[in-house]
Structure 1
């Protein structure tokens, strides 16, 4: 049984029948196969995460809505951001948790790296502001599962239910298994997207460098200036017009091409 943080003083009723357990296992296995087969490929990470949230909502018992939240470490202060949700009320809950109240099961889950369960959010002393807000929305149970790769927490799967005590040990067990598979798929999607972004950035840099070199050559041919002087002139044009160096360079090259074509017209 995975280690998890349960609501203090509350013991959920969690004794599904053997038939229900078998049905839950089928749903879990289908969800894990679906998540394991996801590839970022031509789709973006956001689209892939939407699929993960949908699979989670079906693979974990008693879920009324689910979301996938990722840690955004590129910010000065790393922050959480919901990247996909299966329902609007989930987006509202997560937004209040991260942006306004700064407390809740997902934040605790990300801090501890352990699954977090609440069966009565309105009376959960761990998050007095968050719990009351969500209970007034008619949502009473929460299960947050960390997405862990190696020893690093990269995000979380959050599930919510309108009934009380919706997530017992059975749901935590299945959810933890699903989150383990989902974490690998999410991490691979992020890695692929990052690699693609770096490749595109490098390609743009190479193209920009070629255009700038062409513009420098045009300035030298027109003015007889040396290489450094031509670069300085290009920079001064960029600063005077308050536009990027590559934009000025592209304009010079385009102008030179137009002039050349005009000269060769019959």
Structure 2
């Protein structure tokens, strides 16, 4: 989105295209395996700073419908700027994600689109922003804020470069998100299986002690859980551990006779 004061722009140079190419190559080689989602997204934000002429720092916001949005940054000052934006619920990244289009400003302090956000970040010495929606075939997965301290730091060429970079960046963000979701699901399944095993073992112990049926033993577990205000799996684990401790004590060899 072009503002009137940004109408006079230099033409793109070979250095800009070289930086973009290097950043795109970095994206292509970026792997989520062995890295946290936050680490991968931070690396993407760092590549954006490398790719877009005039950038001093960048933040990336991942929209997660069932979780709090994940926000990362490439430089410390971005944290303060984005905190203001999200506390107010007003700013270029908010609009870029909501409207699915690029937002650009070279004088945030006087930009009428963000009358509360702009002056506050302007007083911090941050005057230019380029906000890019991260769009995939399934929709907007997030947005990227690229900031500069100088006024009018981003021209039409910077916007062009940013929009080119945002296409594969969106795919990288989506892929990293999908992998993170799969890893979370696997962890939840692993925990659920461990809990199920403990519950089954506890049911077996109660049946052996009291001659209960499986249903009766499970009801006994639920009653204990409610009475103790503890999760069912925790109660089951306690029963199993107590049974193990008793078995160890019973099979402990007698002390050797003294000479």
Under a length normalisation based on structure 1, what TM-score does the superposition of the two structures give? 0.91
What is the aligned counterpart of 1:88 among 65, 71, 76?
Answer: 76
Indicate if the aligned counterparts of 2:55 and 2:146 stay in contact, CA closer than 8 A.
yes
Which residue is 1:256 aligned to? 243
Indicate if the aligned counterparts of 1:35 and 1:181 stay in contact, CA closer than 8 A.
yes
- 1:142-195 deviations in whole A, cap 9, x for unaligned? 100111111511111111111111111100111111111111111001001111
Indicate if the aligned counterparts of 2:108 and 2:122 stay in contact, CA closer than 8 A.
yes
Determine the C-alpha separation between the residues in 2 that align with 1:36 and 1:147: 16
Indicate if the aligned counterparts of 1:36 and 1:182 stay in contact, CA closer than 8 A.
no
Aligned residue for 1:14, secondary structure, equals coil
1:81 CA displacement: 4.4
Which residue is 1:126 aligned to? 113
What is the aligned counterpart of 1:149 among 119, 122, 136?
Answer: 136
- 1:227-263 deviations in whole A, cap 9, x for unaligned? 2211111111111111111111111111111222222
1:72 CA displacement: 2.9
Aligned residue for 1:35, secondary structure, equals helix
What is the aligned counterpart of 1:167 among 154, 175, 186?
Answer: 154
1:264 CA displacement: 2.1
What is the aligned counterpart of 1:31 among 13, 18, 23?
Answer: 23
Determine the C-alpha separation between the residues in 2 that align with 1:120 and 1:30: 29
1:125 CA displacement: 0.8
Aligned residue for 1:164, secondary structure, equals coil
Indicate if the aligned counterparts of 1:142 and 1:167 stay in contact, CA closer than 8 A.
yes
Instruction: Flag as ranges the 4+ runs of structure 1 deviating above 6 A.
Output: none
- Structure 2 gaps of 5+ residues are 254-259
Indicate if the aligned counterparts of 1:13 and 1:165 stay in contact, CA closer than 8 A.
no
Determine the C-alpha separation between the residues in 2 that align with 1:183 and 1:255: 52
Determine the C-alpha separation between the residues in 2 that align with 1:158 and 1:191: 22
- Structure 1 gaps of 5+ residues are none
Task: Say which one has the larger Rg.
Answer: 2
Which residue is 1:116 aligned to? 103
What pairs up with 1:1-266 in 2 under 5 angstroms?
5-7=1-3, 9-16=4-11, 21-75=13-67, 80-82=69-71, 84-99=72-87, 101-266=88-253
Determine the C-alpha separation between the residues in 2 that align with 1:85 and 1:265: 58
Under a length normalisation based on structure 2, what TM-score does the superposition of the two structures give? 0.93
CA-based RMSD of the aligned residues comes to 1.4
What is the number of residues matched between the two proteins?
253
> Cα 1:49–1:229, aligned 2, differ >3 Å: closer, same or farther?
same
> Cα 1:193–1:80, aligned 2, differ >3 Å: closer, same or farther?
closer
Determine the C-alpha separation between the residues in 2 that align with 1:132 and 1:257: 66
